[in-house]
Amino acid sequence: MKAAVFIDKDGTLVKDVPYNTDPAHVQLREEAVDALRRLQAAGFELVLVSNQAGVALGRFAERRLERLWLHLRKTLAHAGVDLAAFYYCPHHPQGAVPAYAVECDCRKPKPGMLERAARERNIDLARSWMIGDILDDVEAGHRAGCRAIMLDVGSETEWHESPLRAPEFYARDLDAASHYILAST
């Protein structure tokens, strides 16, 4: 089994543009490529995990996420980074699209996306990490059995604290997060 780093998309890997599925508006965080290269060189599989409530809310069609995923994967591949997989949750309990307006086990802070990735990709969750920009990301990582880092970049608005929402480390950016992971393994 392999170790992975699960990475939240909006606000963590890319600058947050709410409900964006247009590749032209996707901008990687400045330090992302170097940080991901460093983690990949250390043997971590890189897996993107993202809540995409815009589908349930009727802001965009689910099929638009495929184009965005391909753009991110291609952009990172040109920089020498293999983004292995993309898991997303299209659900939201208060959604406007009935098929997606459900309670699910994949919407972070629930661990479903990480657990599914672990099953499908032979990932050892106990050796893996979750990096995100809000405490729901941290909680999802801990519920799945991973260690977790929160990028303290001003995204969190709901400081509901609990042991599951206490990250192992608060990082200023992905660069600091990658160094912490490597020093901790």
Tokens of 185: 């393994």
7, 87, 89, 166, 174 from 171: Cα distances, Å: 14, 23, 25, 13, 7
Closest CA to 154 of 29, 3, 22, 19: 29
Catalytic one among 8, 133, 136, 137?
8
Query: Within a 10 A sphere around the Cβ of 77, how many other Cβ atoms?
Result: 11
Sequence-distant (≥ 6) Cβ neighbours of residue 75 within 8 angstroms: 26, 28
Catalytic one among 10, 133, 136, 137?
10
- Degrees to nearest 5, angle at CA 90 with 9 and 177: 20
Active site residue 8: yes
Closest CA to 45 of 86, 15, 11, 89: 86
Closest CA to 151 of 172, 175, 136: 172
- By annotation, the residues acting in catalysis are 8, 10
